[in-house]
Amino acid sequence: MPQEFHYSWNFDLQSPPEALWPLVSDTNRFNRDAGFPPMELLGIKNGARHVRFKIPFYRMDWDEEPFEWIYPYRFGILRRFHHGPLAEMRVDCRLERCEPSGTRMTYETWARPNGLLGYPAIILGIGFVSAQRFGSIFHQYDRLASNGDSTRKTPDGQMLSSGGQDRFKVQSDRLRAQGVDERILQHLVQFLQNADDLSIQRMRPYALAESWGLPRRAVLEAFLRATRVGLVDMYWDILCPECRGVTEDVPNLKELKGHSHCNTCQIDFSANLDHNIEVVFRPNPSVRAVDATIEFCVGSPQRQPHILFSYIVPAGEELPLDTVLEQGRYTLRATEVPGSQALTAKMDGLPQLDVRARESGWPAEMKEIGLTPRIRLINHTPQPRTFELARTAWSDQAATAADVTVLQVFRDLFATEVVRPGEEISVGAVCLMFTDLRDSTKLYRQIGDAPAFGRVREHFEILEQAVAAQGGSVVKTMGDSVMAVFKHPMEALKAISSAQKQIASNGAPPLGLKAGIHHGPCIVVNLNDRLDYFGSTVNIAARLPGFSAGNEVIISESIRSDPDVQEFLEKSLRPDSLSRFQAEIRGYDEPLSLSKMKL
C-alpha cells in the first residue's frame, strides 16, 4: 500500500467556535478562497457523490462520502479518487474552545498518492502550498468573525462595471420615486459592488435586512421593486424537506410544480409555499454577471445549517459528543431506522442524554435536553448508522413564497406571476379576511347611484391601503365584498380595525363593515389569470361576514387562539366588546366556535 502522508496545523484564533463555524465550515467558500477550481457533480450513488475538477496537467475525479460534523466543534470528509495523483484523502478540522475566550483550531489532512506523480503533488501541493494558504485564510475568517462581518468581499477587489454603476444610478432614481428607503439603496449598491460571487448567487432579503439593521418587509419590497426595474432577477427555489438543498430553481411561478424530487435524498415530495419554496434574487446580468451554477464544494456543513451534527456510529458502538443548541424543538434520526426521537432544548434540560438507535425504532416520548448537552449516540443495530440532529423549525431568514405572494406590492408589480393553469400548490397556513358593506343596497336608494358608487369605490381604496400597510394584499373584489390575504392573523385584525375607523368617518350616512377572519391551510391556484386560494379554509372565511350585524368582525377559533391576537384582545378590548358563540356553516357537520368582536 502506498505511503500515507499526514499533516497537522494548529491556529490560535481570537473568536469563539460559534462565531468561526459559519466561516470555516463553509467549504464551498473555503475551497474557492484556497484557489481550488470549480467542481462538477457527476452523480450520486449509495450516498457518495461522484465529483470531478481539472487542474493543470491533471483531471481528478473521486467519490466523496457525506461530510461528518458536530456543531460548532468538528467536521471531516473522506474522498476516494478514480483519476489523478491522489488515491485517497481525509480531512478533519477541530475547534477547541479556549478560556477565557478564543479557539484553538487543528486542521489535519491524510493523503495517499496514486503512482509516482502523487508524491510531489502531496508534498508540494498539501505540505507546502496548502500550509501557507490555509493559515492566511483562517486568520482572515477570524477577523471577519471578530468584526461580526458576514459579507465576503471579492478576492480581487472587483467592482461593478461602469455600465453596471450607470444602470444602478438611473434605476435607483426610479426606486426612490417609488418610496424605497435611501438606506436600502445604499446598502444594496455596496453589496453588489463588494460582495463576492458566492454571496450574490442567492441574495436573501431577510438575511440581508438583518445584517443591515433594516426592516425585513421594507427590504423584501425593495427587492421586488428592484426586480421590476431590472436591477435584480427573482427566482423561486424549491427546497428538499430533508436536506433542505435546492432541488429546482425557476425564474417564475408558472414553472413551479406541485411535486419535486431530491437527487441527494432520493425522495419525492410536495412543494409548499410557506414551507419549502424560498424566493431569492441575483443581480441582473446588465448590472453584474454572476454564474449561479459554479460550485467549489458539492457538500458542506453550511449547506445544511439546520443539522447540528451528522456522524456515523459503527454497529454496536457508541459515540459521545458535545454540541451547542438554541432553545426549541429538534428531531434526531438515524439512517434506515424507522421514525425519529423528538427533543426539546431548554435552559433547565438534561445536561447529558443517551440516545439509542434500535431496528425497532425510537421511543415515542419527547425528551428535554440542555443548551450545551453531552449526547451519547448508541448504535444497537448490526449496521453502521448516520445519526443526525436537526432543528424542526425552518430558518426565519428565508423569504418564503407565502411571504412574497401575500404582499400587495407583489400583486401590483407582478400581476402576471401566477401558477400554471391546473396546477395546485399547497400553503400550510394563511390568514384570509372577507369583508362586506352593511346595507349597501339601502345606500344606493338613499343617496343615489353615482354618490353611492363613489362611496363604495372609496371604501375599496381604504381597505386596500389598510391591507397593504399590514403586509397583506387584496386578492379580489366581488360586488361590495373584498377577499384579502395575510401571513399572520394579527395583521388582518389591525387592517380591518384601521379601515373601519376611516370608513365610518368618511361622509354620511356612515358606512359599516361586516368582516370575517379565518386561518388555516389551503391551496394556491390560477383563477382568471391571477393568484387565488381554494379549500375549506376559504369556504369558512367567506361565510363568516354573514354572522356580523355590521361594525363587527367574526373571528374563528384559530384566530382567537393565536398568541399575538390573545395579547391584543386582553390589552385592547373591553370585556363587552368580545363574545363567543356557536354557528353552523353549510357543508360542515359540526358547529364552529366563533367570536364576535365590535370594531
pLDDT of residue 241: 87
Q: Which of 391, 415, 450 is the last residue of a domain?
A: 391
The verdict on 363 and 312 lying in the same domain is yes
Q: With respect to residue 397, please indicate whether it lies within any of the assigned structural domains.
A: no
The verdict on 168 and 285 lying in the same domain is yes
pLDDT of residue 510: 73
DSSP tag of 467: H
Q: With respect to residue 396, please indicate whether it lies within any of the assigned structural domains.
A: no
Distance CA 532, CA 464 (A): 16
The verdict on 544 and 571 lying in the same domain is yes
Q: Which residues contact 442 (CB under 8 A, 6 or more apart)?
A: none
The verdict on 467 and 359 lying in the same domain is no
Q: With respect to residue 398, please indicate whether it lies within any of the assigned structural domains.
A: no
Distance CA 402, CA 273 (A): 5
Distance CA 592, CA 169 (A): 56
Closest CA to 524 of 174, 120, 184, 236: 236
pLDDT, mean of each 10-residue run, the chain (599 residues): 90 95 94 91 86 78 94 96 92 94 96 92 90 93 82 58 82 93 94 89 94 95 95 94 89 89 87 92 91 88 93 95 95 92 94 94 90 96 95 87 94 89 88 87 71 81 95 92 94 93 78 91 89 93 92 93 88 77 85 89
Q: In this structure, are strands 48-55 and 58-64 parallel, antiparallel, or unpaired?
A: antiparallel
The verdict on 384 and 444 lying in the same domain is no
Closest CA to 480 of 550, 556, 416: 550
The verdict on 351 and 418 lying in the same domain is no
The verdict on 184 and 313 lying in the same domain is no
The verdict on 442 and 469 lying in the same domain is yes
Q: What are phi and psi of 98, to 5 degrees?
A: -110, 145
The verdict on 426 and 535 lying in the same domain is yes
Q: How many separate domains does the chain show?
A: 4
pLDDT of residue 575: 66
The verdict on 221 and 312 lying in the same domain is no
Q: Which of 479-482's residues contact partners 24+ apart within 8 Å by CB, and which partners?
A: 480/436, 480/437, 480/440, 480/456, 481/434, 481/435, 481/436, 481/437, 481/545, 482/433, 482/434, 482/435
Q: With respect to residue 156, please indicate whether it lies within any of the assigned structural domains.
A: no
Q: Write b or e for each residue in 170-191: b if 16 or more Cβ atoms lie within 10 A of its Cβ, otherwise e.
A: ebbeebeeeebbeebbebbbeb
| CATH code of the domain covering residue 202 | 1.10.10
Q: What residues does 165 pair with on adjacent strands?
A: none
The verdict on 54 and 169 lying in the same domain is no
Distance CA 532, CA 537 (A): 13
Per the CB < 8 A criterion, the answer to whether 390 and 307 are in contact is yes
pLDDT of residue 341: 93
pLDDT of residue 156: 52
Distance CA 126, CA 561 (A): 60
Q: With respect to residue 43, please indicate whether it lies within any of the assigned structural domains.
A: yes
Specify the length of the chain in residues.
599
The verdict on 559 and 416 lying in the same domain is yes
Q: With respect to residue 337, please indicate whether it lies within any of the assigned structural domains.
A: yes
For 352, what's the count of Cα atoms within 13 Å in the CB-facing half-sphere? 4
Q: For the chain, give me the number of helices (H) and strands (E)?
A: 17, 27
| CATH code of the domain covering residue 515 | 3.30.70.1230
pLDDT of residue 474: 95
User: Is 37 exposed, middle or buried, given 0-12, 13-18 or 19+ CB atoms closer than 10 A?
Assistant: middle
Q: Which of 263, 280, 301 is the last residue of a domain?
A: 301
Grid coordinates belonging to 245: 438543498
pLDDT of residue 1: 65
Q: Which of 79, 113, 147 is the last residue of a domain?
A: 147
Residue with cell 413564497: 401
> DSSP letter string over 399-421?
-BHHHHHT-HHHHHH-TT--PPT
522 lies in which domain range?
Answer: 406-598
pLDDT of residue 30: 94
Q: With respect to residue 477, please indicate whether it lies within any of the assigned structural domains.
A: yes
| CATH code of the domain covering residue 62 | 3.30.530.20
Q: With respect to residue 327, please indicate whether it lies within any of the assigned structural domains.
A: yes
Distance CA 242, CA 392 (A): 11
- CA dist 349 → 327, 333, 343, 553 (Å): 10, 20, 10, 42
pLDDT of residue 56: 67
**Strand residues in 14-67 grouped as ranges (E):** 40-45, 48-55, 58-64
Helix axes 449-469, 440-447, angle to 10 degrees: 140
